[in-house]
A = this chain, B = another copy of it.
Amino acid sequence: MELMENDKRKLPAHISGHECTARLLPVKDALDILSGKWKLQIIISLTFGKKRFKQIQREIPGLTPKMLSKELKELEINELASRHVYDTSPVTVEYEITPYGKTLKPLIEELYKWGAKHRKRIIARK
């Protein structure tokens, strides 16, 4: 990387291509974990505190128990959320965002900000 960040004037394609690839890989990794209609929404819901299964489902319109169950499992595997079972009867289950999950906050914030602006733009032009 001996090129200045903003000097793209005469970058040959095969050079800018390498720069580009370096950006692409991590983004792909992030996308792999976060993609899908529900995962980020679930994480956002958990951002507001521990939640129980049905509670999450109620907060996210359109989310079926099957999808919620599946997505929560994947979030657990990736250590973004944790599941806590309490020995009541019937059992009480709580889901919580993990410290690692919290590292997504800045990303979610940007997503929110962009989404909000985009929403305004769309509404404005109708």
Main secondary structure of the interface of A (DSSP, over half): helix
Please give the distance in Å from A117's CB to the nearest CB on chain B: 7
Candidate in A48, A49, A100, A103 with the most chain B CB atoms within 10 angstroms: A48
Contacts of A117 in B (CB 8 A): 103
CA distance A121 to B19 in the complex (A): 22
Is A119 part of the binding interface, using a Cβ–Cβ cutoff of 8 Å? yes
Q: A35-B35, A106-B110 are in contact. Are A27 and B41 (CB under 8 A)?
A: yes
Chain A positions near chain B (C-beta within 8 angstroms): 8, 11, 13, 16-17, 19-21, 23-31, 33, 35-37, 40-41, 44-45, 47-49, 55, 58-60, 100, 103-104, 106-119, 121-122
